[in-house]
Amino acid sequence: MPGSGHGRVVGAVVVACASRASFVGYLSSTQTASVKFAGLEKKWVRASLSYLSKQLKEAGHEACPHTVRDLLKRQGFSLKGNERKQGQSRSNCPERDEQFRYMASKREAFKAAGWPIISVDTKKKELIGNFRRPGKTWCKKPTEVNEHDYSSQAECLAVPFGIYNVARNTGYVVVGLSHNTSEFAVSSISRWWQDEGRVVYPRAAELLILADGGGGNGYRSRAWRWNLQVKICNPHRLTVTVCHYPPGCSKWNPVEHRLFSQISNNWAGIPLRSLAIMLGYIRGTTTTTGLTVKAVLDEGIYPKGQKVSWKDVDSLNLTPHEVCPEWNYTIRPSE
């Protein structure tokens, strides 16, 4: 078939005639494009049932789309979407299992000592205004929202940073109005410590932070480590140990499935027309296991591109761990 090697083959149709057992195979790709080969031009189109039926008819085999569908099913074909490559993150991250085992051991150690363990991350940014929200609610008439989700029509763009207390099953969400930066992330953790942490753990000398590997709290961010030193360790005289999840493993971060998913379920189908509504639904999030959530607004400005030099990093009182030192480190108060 001219040009058949220039497209991705996705299926074959086998047609059986009632009078005799004859089979004709037809190949097609999912793209629509023109390919010139040996002076000929071939049109590649999506392999729809009507298209395959038409091609079969031109070849002398009558088969309506319903018949084509039945014959495809008999041959083991069905409509399928793309499938992500399994185990890709594992193969690209050989230290993955070692890191998970190490994080589990650190959690056990901090739990035994009675020291706080928090899981942190930034939730998806939300447009505040009369915009459509995924999900459905019980009502007699659907809620009318804007036809388009233009950011120019939004009251503001909210940036929720979540802190989940693993041992106590409590959440603390700081809703910012600026950028998702390392300074904002650390300021949110510092605010949690002043508001709740030091009250619940008055004798705690150390804090364990479980964080993703990217974003404002990523392990490559110099600003993240610098702000931990100057905003938490030094002023609160607190020793902070940070363990980052390996690449592609953010779904295992407790804040994702213990806090963020529950908040999303609570405001599903509810337009977040104001910050008050957003904060109210965050505070109203509960579960049968006893989750409670506190939400506060941070109107501070956190510019992007905070400059932290390598000289500043060298001045940190930071000790990398022996196991996966890029992902595990402890920062102590400066002398």
Residues 119 and 220 grouped into a single domain: yes
Q: pLDDT tens-digit profile of 248-275?
A: 898 999 999 999 999 999 999 999 999 9
- Phi, psi of 95, rounded to the nearest 5 degrees: -85, 5
Residues 188 and 107 grouped into a single domain: yes
92: confidence class by pLDDT, cuts 50, 70, 90 = low
Residue with the larger pLDDT of the pair 74 and 130: 130
Residues 101 and 151 grouped into a single domain: yes
**pTM reported for the whole predicted model:** 0.77
Residues 162 and 198 grouped into a single domain: yes
Residues 275 and 148 grouped into a single domain: yes
Residues 196 and 143 grouped into a single domain: yes
Among 33-47, 58-72, 164-178, the least confident range: 33-47
Residue 80 domain flag: no
Judged against a pLDDT cut of 70, whether residue 19 lies above it is answered with no
45: confidence class by pLDDT, cuts 50, 70, 90 = low
Residues 69 and 160 grouped into a single domain: no
Q: Which helix (H) or strand (E) is 283 found in, with range?
A: helix 275-283
pLDDT at 113: 95
Distances (CA, A) of 329 to 60, 62, 163, 292, 304: 71, 70, 19, 30, 25
Choosing from 74, 101, 128, the residue where a domain stops is: 74
Half-sphere exposure of 255 (CA within 13 A, CB side): 23
Judged against a pLDDT cut of 90, whether residue 13 lies above it is answered with no
| One-letter amino acid for residue 304 of the chain | K
Residue 157 domain flag: yes
Report which of 199, 207, 218, 202 is spatially closest to residue 294, judged by C-alpha positions.
199
pLDDT at 55: 78
312: confidence class by pLDDT, cuts 50, 70, 90 = very high
Residue 82 domain flag: no
> CA 211 from chain center: how many Å?
13
Residues 36 and 120 grouped into a single domain: no
Residues 140 and 255 grouped into a single domain: yes
Residue 242 domain flag: yes
Percent residues over pLDDT 70 in the chain: 84
Which residues in 14-40 are b (16+ Cβ under 10 Å) and which e?
A: ebeeeeeeeebebebbeeeeebeeeee
pLDDT at 272: 95
CATH number at residue 204: 3.30.420
How many domains are contained in the chain?
2
Residue appearing with tokens 């002023």: 235
Q: pLDDT tens-digit profile of 190-199?
A: 999 999 999 9
Q: pLDDT tens-digit profile of 168-217?
A: 999 999 999 999 999 999 999 999 999 999 999 999 999 999 999 999 99
Distances (CA, A) of 37 to 29, 30, 59, 66, 245: 16, 19, 22, 33, 50
Residue 85 domain flag: no
Among 74-83, 131-140, 142-151, 200-209, the least confident range: 74-83
301: confidence class by pLDDT, cuts 50, 70, 90 = very high
Choosing from 74, 107, 131, the residue where a domain stops is: 74
Choosing from 43, 74, 105, the residue where a domain stops is: 74
Query: Residue 192: which residues within 8 A CB-CB, separation 6 or more?
Result: 118, 163, 172, 174
Residues 183 and 240 grouped into a single domain: yes
Residues 123 and 194 grouped into a single domain: yes
Residue 84 domain flag: no
| 26: containing domain | 4-74
**Distance of alpha carbon 70 from alpha carbon 76, whole angstroms:** 10
Residue 83 domain flag: no
Judged against a pLDDT cut of 60, whether residue 231 lies above it is answered with yes
| One-letter amino acid for residue 128 of the chain | I
Residues 54 and 142 grouped into a single domain: no
